[in-house]
Amino acid sequence: MLENSVQVKNEQLSDLHEVDELRALVRQQAETIAELAKHNQELSKRIRELEEELRAKKKLNKKPQLSASKLNEGKHLELKQRKGKRPGSVKGRKKDSFVVDTEWKIEPSQLPVGAKFNGYREYLFHELRIERNNIRFLLAEYVLPDGGVISGQLPPEYQQFWTLWPATSGIYLAPVLSQSSDATKDS
């Protein structure tokens, strides 16, 4: 029995020795953690000082001013804020790609004796129909002996568009003939 009690005491001593070693290890780790925490605080303080110094040299505010998010605002507000034309919307000349479907040469209704042909004055018309029908009117011009000019006139259905803008092209909307409503009543 004595051997058993000695053996138990030896085991207890070895356990106590291990416990003491573990306690010493924990103490050492706690000291290391404390040193690292202190070092971390010093570094954080140094970083703040350097950032303040940098802001002072760049003449920046201490706190940056951030604008509110505009993700929830509709595109309607964005369109209202734009001024002028949007990029890429510069109006180009359409005359370059203008395809003439019909060309009329129009002579003056009365031509005095001695008038010399002076060329044509060009009028371009975009007539909107189900199909495209672009008409070019070439109004003959003549120079009179007294220095005046006489030229052909546009047909009456087109004349109303040229009283204000005689040197530009215009758009003519052909009148649509309304059909009798009797056909729809029968069905």
Answer for the pair 121, 140: CB distance below 8 angstroms, yes or no. Answer: no
Answer for the pair 132, 101: CB distance below 8 angstroms, yes or no. Answer: yes
**Structural domain of 116:** 98-173
User: How many helices and strands in the chain, by DSSP H and E?
Assistant: 4, 5
Same domain (yes/no): 52, 113: no
Q: Which two tokens stand for residue 166?
A: 């005689």
Residue 114 lies in a domain: yes
Of 5-9, 25-29, 91-95, the one with minimum mean pLDDT is 5-9
Position 133, amino acid:
N
Report the C-alpha dihedral over residues 14, 16, 18, 20, rounded to 10 degrees. Answer: -140
Domains contained in the chain, number: 2
Picking from 62, 88, 111, the residue at the C-terminal end of a domain is: 62
Same domain (yes/no): 106, 57: no
Q: Which tens digit of pLDDT belongs to each residue from 95-151?
A: 667 788 888 899 998 888 999 999 998 888 877 767 777 888 889 999 999 999 998
Strands (E), the chain: 102-106, 116-128, 133-143, 149-151, 170-173
pTM: 0.27
Evaluated on CA atoms 179, 182, 185, 186, the torsion sign reads: negative
- Interval 25-33 mean pLDDT: 94
- Report the percentage of the chain scoring pLDDT > 70: 63
pLDDT class for 180, splitting at 50, 70, 90?
very low
| Mean per-residue pLDDT of the chain | 75
Picking from 16, 40, 62, the residue at the C-terminal end of a domain is: 62
pLDDT class for 52, splitting at 50, 70, 90?
confident
Position 22, amino acid:
L
